[in-house]
Structure 1
Amino acid sequence: MKFGFIGTGSMGSNLVQAFVQSYAMQPDHIIVSNRTRDKAERLALDCPGIHVADHNLETARKADCIFLCVKPGDFRHVLDEIQDVVRPDQYVISITSPVMIRDLEEHLEGKIAKVIPSICHAALSGNSLLIPGTRFSDEDTQWLYQLFSCISEPLYIDEAHTRAASDLASCGPAFLANILEQWTRAAVKVTGLPEETAVSLVEQMVIGTGKLLSENGFTLQSLQDRVAVPGGITREGLHLLNDAFTPCFTRLFQLTHMKFSEDLHKVQQSFQRAEKKL
C-alpha cells in the first residue's frame, strides 16, 4: 500500500517519522507534498526513501491512503486541488479537527476518516483518536485501528467530542509541560534550588509517575491517596491545587472550545463560498 501525506508540518512529519520508526510503513511506500517544498525535502532526508511529490495532485493520485495534515485555513484549497482525482477505493484521513467528516464526504469520493494524533506518537505512545466516516466498513475500521496501534493506543470517539478529547490527548502534552515548567520555576524562585536540579527532579518524577500508572496498577486517585497521608504536607498541597486548578481547567476547556467554534465557523464559510461560486 502507498501512503500519501499532504502537509509535512509539525504533526504531519511526526506521523511519518512514527510510522517509519514502528515499521508500519516503509519509506519507499510514502509520498509527501507540502506547500513549502523545503519542509518535505527535510523530512525525506530524515527518512531516506520517501518520495517528495511536485504537488498535492501527484500525492493524491499515487497514494492508496491519503493523510490530510493541513491547517483549517488551507483545507478548502487542498480539497479543490485533489477532489477530481480521489477515487472511491482510496482512504482519506484528515487530522484537522474542525473539518467535519460530512463535509469531506460531500466533496471527496474516498473512504473518509478523521484521526487526531499526538506528539506522544514520537515515542510510540499516547492515544490516537479515531472517527471513521460512513463509508468505512467494519474491515476498514479494523485496518485503521491496526495501523494506528503501531504507534499509539487508538481510541474511538464520537466526532462531537473531538475538541474535549483533543485537549487531553493532543494538546495535553504541551499543557502538562507548561504546568511542570511553572512548577520548576517556582521551586527555583522560592527556595533557591538550582534550576538544573529542579528540572531533573521533575523530569524523572514524570517518567516514574507514568510507569506507576501504566505498569503498576495505580489510578490517578489511588496514586494521590498513596502519597498524601492525612494531615501531611502532600495533602495540604493537594487542597491548594484543587482550589487553584479547578477554575483554571474549567476556563481552559471554555477557551479551547471557543477557539474550535471559531475555526469550525471559518471552515464552514470556506465551503459555502466555494459552493456559491459553482
Structure 2
Amino acid sequence: MALRIGFLGAGKMAQAIAKGIISTGMVKADSVIASSPPQDQLYLDFFKDLGCGITHRNEDVVSSSNVVIVAVKPNVMSNVLQSVKNATTSEKLFISVAMGIEIRDIREVLRPSDPKIARVMPNTCVSVGEGACAFVASDDPSADTVTKLFSAVGTCHRLTDESQLDAVTALSGAGPAYVFSIAEALADGGVKMGLPRVLAVNLVSQTILGAAKMIQKTGRHTAVLRDEVTSPGGNTIEGLHFLEKSGMRAALMGAIEASTIKCRVTNMELKEQLKGK
C-alpha cells in the first residue's frame, strides 16, 4: 500500500521529517499534506514550497492519509485529536512525535475508532537524513511502517518500554543542541588560538562527523577509541586533563539527567491536564 502521509501541525519537527522523507524518495511530495491554524500560515508555506498539500482543517489531513504524524505541542494534543475523531478509522496509523502523551492517552481520546498508534522521538537531524529515532508501537505492522519511514531519514530503534522515551528525548531528542554547543565552543577555541573562523568551524564539523562514523563503523568502545588518540605525554592528554578538571563528563551526564527529569515532570503535568478534560 502506497504511503499517504498527513501532518497535524506544520512546525519545525514536522518540516524536518517531511523534508527528510521526501528528499529520500520514500514518498512523493504530492502524497503529503499538512494542516496548521491560519495564524501559522508561514509554516504551511514551507510545505507548499515542497509541493505538498496544505489545509487549515485537521479533518482533511486524516481523511486523505493512511499515516498521520501528530506533530503538535503536547498542551494542544487533546483538542487536535478531538477535532479528527470523526475522520479516524481503525485502518489508519497515528504516529505521535509529541513529548509526554502516552499511547493509551491517545487511544482514549480517539475512541471508539481505535486506530493503530505509535510514538516516535526523532531529532532535527532527520532533515538531512541522519536522524536518531526511537519508538514504541501498538502492534508489529505499525512498527514495520514506522521503521520503514524513519529508517529512510536516519537510524530507528524500537523500544520495549514506553517509559524509556523520556531518556531518549533527553539524549537524542535534545542531543543536537548539546553537540552544536560543543562544536561552537571548540571552534571558538580554534579562533582564540589563531585559526580563521570558517576554517575552525569546518575542522570541527568534520571532526565530529568522522568521530561519529568511527564509533558506528568500528563498534569499539569509545574509551578505546579515545585512548588510541591519546599519546603518553602528548597534547591530547593535556587537553583531556583540562576537561576532566572542568567537569565536562559530569556536566554532560547531568544534562541528560536534568532533561529526563524535566520530561517526566512534564508528563505528569500533562496527565493531570488530560484527566481534567
1:121 to 121, 126, 132: 126
Distance in structure 2 (CA, Å) of the matches to 1:259 and 1:111:
28
Structure 1 residue 177 displacement after superposition:
1.0
| Structure 1 range deviating more: 208-217 or 26-35 | 208-217
Structure 1 residue 131 displacement after superposition:
0.7
Distance in structure 2 (CA, Å) of the matches to 1:59 and 1:44:
14
| Structure 1 range deviating more: 79-88 or 59-68 | 79-88
Name the structure 2 match of 1:132. 137
1:37 to 41, 61, 73: 41
TM-score normalized by the length of structure 2? 0.89
Deviations along 1:150-197, one digit per CA (max 9) or x if unpaired, are 2221111221111222222221111111012122223333x3433333
Distance in structure 1 (CA, Å) of the matches to 2:106 and 2:118:
9
Name the structure 2 match of 1:252. 255
Structure 1 residue 272 displacement after superposition:
1.2
Q: Give the secondary structure class of the aligned counterpart of 1:15.
A: helix
Distance in structure 2 (CA, Å) of the matches to 1:150 and 1:247:
34
Structure 1 residue 9 displacement after superposition:
0.6
For 1:1-278, list aligned pairs within 5 A. Answer: 1-35=3-37, 36-45=40-49, 47-48=50-51, 50-108=52-110, 109-133=114-138, 136=139, 138-157=140-159, 158-189=161-192, 191-215=193-217, 219-243=221-245, 244-274=247-277
| Count of residues in correspondence between the two structures | 268
Q: Give the secondary structure class of the aligned counterpart of 2:276.
A: helix
Deviations along 1:180-233, one digit per CA (max 9) or x if unpaired, are 2122223333x3433333222212222332333344555422221111022222
Query: RMSD between aligned alpha carbons?
Result: 1.9
- Name the CA shift for 1:215/1:250 in 2 (closer, same or farther; >3 Å): closer
Identical positions, percent? 25
| Long gaps (5+) in structure 2 | none
Distance in structure 2 (CA, Å) of the matches to 1:233 and 1:97:
42
Q: Give the secondary structure class of the aligned counterpart of 2:153.
A: coil
Distance in structure 2 (CA, Å) of the matches to 1:201 and 1:42:
31
Q: Give the secondary structure class of the aligned counterpart of 2:86.
A: coil
